[in-house]
């Protein structure tokens, strides 16, 4: 349903032209996404994980056309996303659930109007049928039709995220981008929202691009998993294959950070160091300043993608067998 081919996204973070001219500075470009590729089959979930600043949210926004790629191609059912977004019939088939449910809802509107907006915008119903569809959507996400009379501030965080999901479903989409939809919620509420999303996917045959930094959450949701580091996808493949036998050193360090009762008392290796600046990333493999396996080749050459079973990994150590 969605395919990214060597997608890159740059942001100009330079000072104003006159200030740069007087100081003799060149333009400064932030490389948020750097040559990432993936594909998502209909009815499945691909999750992208990584530390803050790795480019996950930028990728999420490119997947629904909010950002255009600086290079590469983003395709929706084989069509360039830029042209697909101009087609209202295709545009309504994709939607997004944002990270902060309160910031993404208009505080001046009642919930019934928030959920009804996509229905009216795409002319999916008219008159009394709009109110009936809103009530149906609220029930579908575990709320009451009477909740349509309330404002967003009258709900808890989990209930507000349910309203966000109802609004996302209002345009009858087939593809949803979920940008850390549970990170602002308590753990018990996270489980409720994830189970709701999983149930909706099975009933409505939805396709998800799920963005998260929480690997425990991702394991519950994913068919396939992509691990991002500094704008690049360093490992991608079936979720269970990566969880059971991670290949890339970064993936292994991330998995060791998951709370697990079976690992109590066992020594863990934390992810050391800081994420380098995406304005001036390290040469070669961008993970080499933090990698326990780094050698001279890692500092000089960007690793090619190597296939290990069903998993694709970009790592010199894996490719040459010294990992």
pTM: 0.87
pLDDT at 38 over 90: yes
Is 252 inside any structural domain?
Answer: yes
Identify any residues that bridge with 233 across adjacent strands, giving them in sequence order: 228
pLDDT at 188 over 70: yes
Q: pLDDT by residue (tens digit) across 7-27?
A: 999 999 888 888 888 888 888
Mean pLDDT across the chain, nearest whole number?
87
Domain count, the chain: 2
The proportion of the chain whose per-residue pLDDT surpasses 70, expressed as a percent, equals 93
Lowest mean pLDDT, pick from 46-50, 156-160, 207-211:
156-160
Is 250 inside any structural domain?
Answer: yes
Is 274 inside any structural domain?
Answer: yes
Q: 55-67 b/e with 16+ CB inside 10 Å = b? A: bbbbbbbbbbbeb
Report the pLDDT value the prediction gives residue 210, as an integer from 0 to 100: 93
Report the pLDDT value the prediction gives residue 62, as an integer from 0 to 100: 92
Report the pLDDT value the prediction gives residue 51, as an integer from 0 to 100: 85
Do 228 and 274 lie in one domain? The reply is yes
Q: pLDDT by residue (tens digit) across 243-297?
A: 989 999 999 888 877 665 455 455 666 666 778 888 888 899 999 888 888 889 9
In terms of residues, how long is the chain? Answer: 323
Is 19 inside any structural domain?
Answer: no
> Domain containing 311: what range?
39-70+84-93+180-320
Where does the pLDDT of residue 48 fall: very low under 50, low under 70, confident under 90, or very high at 90 and above? very high
Q: pLDDT by residue (tens digit) across 55-103?
A: 898 999 999 888 999 999 999 988 888 776 677 778 888 999 888 888 8
Do 66 and 111 lie in one domain? The reply is no
Do 130 and 191 lie in one domain? The reply is no
Q: Are 231 and 252 spatial neighbours (Cβ–Cβ below 8 Å)? A: no
Q: pLDDT by residue (tens digit) across 103-159?
A: 889 999 999 999 999 999 888 888 889 999 999 999 988 899 999 999 999 988 888
Report the pLDDT value the prediction gives residue 270, as an integer from 0 to 100: 62
Could you tell me the CATH number of the domain that includes residue 242? 3.40.50.300
Distance between CA atoms of 271 and 282, rounded to whole angstroms? 17
Please report, for residues 9, 62, 209, the alpha-carbon distance to residue 84 in angstroms, rounded to integers and kept in the order given.
Answer: 19, 13, 18
238 contact partners, CB below 8 Å, separation of at least 6: 223, 224, 225, 310, 311
């Amino acid at each position: 349903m969605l395919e990214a081919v060597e997608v890159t996204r740059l942001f100009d973070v330079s000072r104003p032209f006159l200030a740069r001219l007087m100081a003799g500075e060149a333009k400064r470009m932030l490389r948020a996404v750097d040559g990432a590729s993936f594909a998502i089959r209909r009815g499945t979930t691909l999750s992208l994980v990584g530390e803050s600043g790795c480019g996950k949210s930028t990728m999420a926004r490119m997947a629904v056309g909010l950002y255009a790629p600086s290079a590469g191609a983003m395709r929706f059912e084989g069509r360039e996303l830029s042209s697909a977004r101009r087609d209202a019939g295709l545009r309504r088939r994709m939607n997004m659930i944002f990270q902060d449910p309160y910031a993404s809802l208009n505080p001046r509107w009642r919930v019934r109007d928030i959920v009804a907006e996509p229905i009216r915008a795409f002319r999916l119903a008219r008159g009394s049928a709009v109110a009936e569809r809103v009530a149906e959507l609220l029930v579908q996400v575990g709320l009451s039709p009477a909740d349509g009379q309330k404002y967003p501030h009258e709900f808890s965080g989990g209930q507000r995220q349910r309203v966000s999901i109802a609004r996302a479903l209002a345009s009858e989409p087939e593809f949803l981008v979920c940008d850390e939809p549970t990170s602002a919620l308590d753990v018990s509420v996270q489980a409720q929202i994830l189970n709701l999303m999983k149930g909706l996917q099975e009933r409505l045959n939805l396709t998800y691009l799920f963005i998260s930094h929480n690997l425990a959450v991702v394991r519950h949701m994913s068919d396939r998993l992509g691990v991002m580091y500094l704008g690049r996808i360093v490992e991608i493949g079936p979720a269970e294959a990566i969880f059971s036998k991670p290949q890339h050193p970064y993936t292994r360090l991330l998995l060791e950070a998951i709370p697990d009762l079976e690992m109590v008392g066992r020594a863990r290796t934390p992810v050391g160091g800081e994420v380098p600046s995406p304005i001036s990333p390290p040469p070669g493999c961008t993970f080499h300043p933090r990698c326990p396996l780094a050698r001279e080749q890692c500092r000089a050459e960007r690793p090619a993608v190597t296939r290990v079973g069903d998993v694709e990994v970009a790592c010199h150590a894996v490719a040459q067998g010294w990992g």
